[in-house]
Each structure stands twice: as C-alpha cells, then as structure tokens.
C-alpha cells in the first residue's frame, strides 16, 4: 500500500525560513504569561500520567467535571484519536465541513470510514445517518465564519432525533473578532468540544489540546474509558501541561481580549491594503479570511511571494480553489507584502 501524502498546512514547509507568515492562522505574538509558564515547565520528571491536577484546574475554570476532560498532544492528535474512537464505536459515517480543515477528512479516510462533506448544515439534516459523527468548526477554518443560530437549532434537533455525535472544534474561538458564538447553552453539554489554545497563544510549536466529552458519555464512562485507553501514556508533555494550565489563567484571558483589539485594528489596515490592490474578500468573523487575487493564476504569485520570504496559504486543499487564506499580520509584514505584490504586478506588465 502506498503511503497517503501528508495533509498540507500553513506555516513552515521545509523550504527557506518564512519571514512574514500570513499562511498560518496563529497569533503572530506569543502570550507573555504562557511563555513564562513554559519556561517554568518541569522537564526533569514525567507528567502525572492521569493529569489529575491539570484536569481539575481546567475543569474548575471551564465549569466541567474533571472526568469530562481528556488531554491531547494537539488538536491534530485529538482529531485522529476521536476519529479512531468513532470507528471503534461503530459510527456509520463522518461528516466534515467544506471548505474545512483537512485533518478531519484525512483521519476518516485513513480509517476507511465513509466520508461525507457538507457546505451547509442543511445538507447534514438531509443526509446524515443515525449516529453519524459530525465535525463542526466554529469559527471555521479557512472561512473564519461562525455558524448561525438557525444552524445551531438544526444541529440541536438532529442530535436529539438521530443521536448524532457532534464534535465542535473551537480552535479559533479565542480569535473570533466579530459576533458571538450562537451555540445554545442547552446543547453544549451534549457536544464533544476540542480546544486548541496554542494558536491564540501564538505558541503552535507546543503540542497541546483539550477534549471535553459530552456529559452523558463522561457519566456512562464507556466512550471515555476507551478514549483514555487509545492515548499513549504521557500524551501531553510538561510544556503542554504548562500551556493548557496557563491558558485559563486570568492574566492570559485579559491578554487575549487585548490581542483581539489589536488584531481588529491590524485587520482594518491589512484589508484596506489588499482591497486597494484589487483583491476580494469573503465574509469572516476572524482575522484570517479567504481572498481572491486579481490575477487568475495563483501559483506564480504564491511562488514569487515565497521566494521573498512571504507565505500565503493556497486554500485549494482546504476546499476553496482559486482562493488564498490570509491571516492578519503586524504592520512590518503588511508593508513587506505590499512591496512584494506591487513588484509582482510591475514585473507582470
Ligand atoms: C480547525 C483546526 N483544528 C485543529 C487544528 C490542529 O491544531 P493543533 O494540532 O496545533 O492543536 C488546526 C490547525 O491548523 C485547525 O485549523
């Protein structure tokens, strides 16, 4: 059997260093308190294999029982593990948003699970089999859009009627710049949640994530024990423990609110610059968004930018052909992008 290619991602790509990285959705600045916590991480000893103190700390902060919480070595690992769990529990099919993060589909395909893609929640309503596993990304990568109250009402009804397993990926929730999440409070306890705070904390090199199991499943222990059994021992490193622990502290929460204010101002500036150069943007609730350049051929443009250390994310592999995903970056990076785009246009004349 030939090996499946690795899913494509933004960020480092094995080429020369990326000086101005618009291709990853992560915050460009590491959160100072989280960075300080990482420096204090105890690397000399194994973490507690049950992560008891960490789960109690996170449970108290999030209003969840510690037994509902599972730690993971990143969202990507959690997606693989939850998909494997779904496969073992006999889930009939996996639904993934499109455009959407590629790892949901890659995980289902690696396990030969029937894969269904949805562009709108109504398609899930029309086609989902009883007990199907449904990934929801809110706000969604790569669009940056959140689900509407009507979408959530549909999912709520579907979950009750067909026993769907709804898995809500909150990777970009702390980076939402507009609007409020519309998930009904009553549904929250019936969802799987995935938190991947390394993006908002600007520390994606630290592999750490948190899974919340639905209340019913955590209480019955059946899925939870299996999910625990699927994780390697010490799945979360000492740095991972430090990152998750810091994420819910008051100073980090405050920092994240300031970060959003800063990103809103930078977004306005960056959008002006791109719109002035003839780019078109799709609606997004986040700093990152899908953009269409005035040129029709994307590849030469992206290649030219990469040649001068600037990276944008071709969104084709995310299900958005002809578009690029661009995150909001600091002023110096924006200036470098304007210079490179103007030079490319000049050369093309
Ligand atoms: C929507 C979404 N979920 C999860 C992940 C995985 O992130 P990590 O493994 O760094 O936690 C990503 C990474 O880009 C993502 O975009």
pLDDT 10s digits, 135-146:
999 999 999 999
- Convert 33-72 to b/e letters by CB count within 10 Å (16 or more is b): bbbebbeebeeeeebeeebeebbebbbeeeebebebbbbb
pLDDT digits (tens, 9 = 90+) for 47-73: 999 999 999 999 999 999 999 999 999
Answer yes or no: is the C-beta of 75 below 6 A from any ligand 1 atom: yes
Q: Give the span between the Cα atoms of 310 and 317, in whole angstroms.
A: 19
Residue of 125, 118, 90 whose CA lies nearest to 104:
118
- Which residue in the block uniquely carries the two structure tokens 């026993």? 163
Quote the distance between the C-alpha of residue 166 and its chain's center: 16
Answer yes or no: is the C-beta of 101 below 6 A from any ligand 1 atom: yes
CA of 84 relative to ligand 1 center, distance in Å: 17
For the domain bounded by 20-25+251-348, which CATH number is listed? 3.90.1150.10
Answer yes or no: is the C-beta of 204 below 6 A from any ligand 1 atom: yes
The residue to mutate among 77, 80, 196, having the most atoms of ligand 1 within 8 angstroms of its beta carbon, is 196
Quick one: pLDDT at residue 3? 46
Q: Are 130 and 124 in contact (CB under 8 A)?
A: no
| DSSP SS3 for 291 | strand
Q: How many helices (H) and strands (E) does the chain have?
A: 13, 13
Q: Locate CATH 3.90.1150.10 in the chain.
A: 20-25+251-348
Q: Does the model's pTM come out above 0.85?
A: yes
pLDDT digits (tens, 9 = 90+) for 158-192: 999 999 999 999 999 999 999 999 999 989 999 99
121-130 long-range Cβ contacts below 8 angstroms, 24+ apart: 121/147, 121/151, 121/154, 121/155, 122/154, 124/95, 124/154, 124/155, 124/158, 124/164, 125/154, 125/158, 128/93, 128/95, 128/158, 128/162, 128/164, 129/92, 129/93, 129/162, 130/92, 130/162, 130/163, 130/164
pLDDT digits (tens, 9 = 90+) for 230-274: 999 999 999 999 999 999 999 999 999 999 999 999 999 999 999
Quick one: pLDDT at residue 4? 60
> Could you say which architecture CATH assigns to the domain 32-249?
3-Layer(aba) Sandwich (3.40)
What average pLDDT is seen over the chain? 94
Answer yes or no: is the C-beta of 74 below 6 A from any ligand 1 atom: yes
Q: Are 108 and 94 in contact (CB under 8 A)?
A: yes
How many C-beta neighbours within 10 Å does residue 321 have?
A: 11
Q: Locate CATH 3.40.640.10 in the chain.
A: 32-249
Within the chain, what is the greatest distance between any pair of CA atoms? 66
Which atom of ligand 1 is found nearest the CA of 141? Answer: 1
């Amino acid at each position: 059997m030939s090996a499946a290619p690795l899913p494509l991602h933004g960020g480092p790509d094995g080429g020369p260093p990326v000086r101005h990285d618009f291709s990853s959705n992560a915050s460009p600045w590491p959160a100072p308190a989280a960075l300080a916590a990482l420096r204090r991480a105890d690397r000399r000893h194994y973490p507690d294999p049950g992560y008891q103190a960490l789960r109690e700390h996170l449970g108290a902060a999030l209003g969840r029982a510690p037994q509902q919480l599972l730690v993971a070595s990143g969202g990507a690992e959690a997606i693989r593990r939850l998909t494997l769990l779904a496969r073992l529990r006999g889930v009939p099919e996996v639904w993934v948003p499109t455009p959407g993060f590629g790892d949901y589909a890659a995980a289902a395909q690696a396990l030969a699970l029937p894969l269904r893609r949805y562009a709108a929640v109504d398609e899930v309503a029309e086609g989902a089999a009883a007990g199907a596993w449904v990934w929801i990304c809110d706000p969604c990568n790569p669009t940056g859009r959140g689900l509407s109250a009507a979408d959530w009402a549909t999912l709520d009804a579907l979950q009750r009627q067909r026993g769907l397993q709804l898995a809500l990926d909150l990777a970009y929730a702390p980076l939402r710049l507009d609007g409020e999440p519309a998930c009904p409070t009553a549904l929250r306890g019936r969802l799987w949640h995935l938190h991947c705070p390394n993006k908002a904390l600007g520390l994606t090199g630290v592999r750490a994530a948190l899974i919340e199991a639905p209340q019913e499943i955590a209480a019955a222990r059946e899925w939870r024990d299996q999910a625990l059994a699927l994780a390697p021992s010490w799945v979360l490193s000492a740095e991972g423990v430090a990152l998750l622990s810091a994420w819910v502290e008051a100073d980090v929460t405050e920092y994240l609110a300031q970060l959003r204010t800063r990103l809103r101002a930078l977004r306005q500036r960056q959008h002006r610059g791109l719109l002035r150069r003839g780019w078109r943007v799709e609606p997004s609730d986040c700093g990152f968004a899908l953009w269409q350049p005035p040129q029709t051929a994307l590849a030469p443009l992206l290649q030219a930018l990469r040649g001068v250390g600037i990276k944008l994310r071709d969104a084709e592999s995310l299900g958005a052909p002809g578009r690029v995903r661009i995150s909001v970056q600091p002023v110096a990076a924006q200036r470098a992008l304007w210079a490179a785009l103007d030079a490319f246009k000049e050369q093309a004349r």
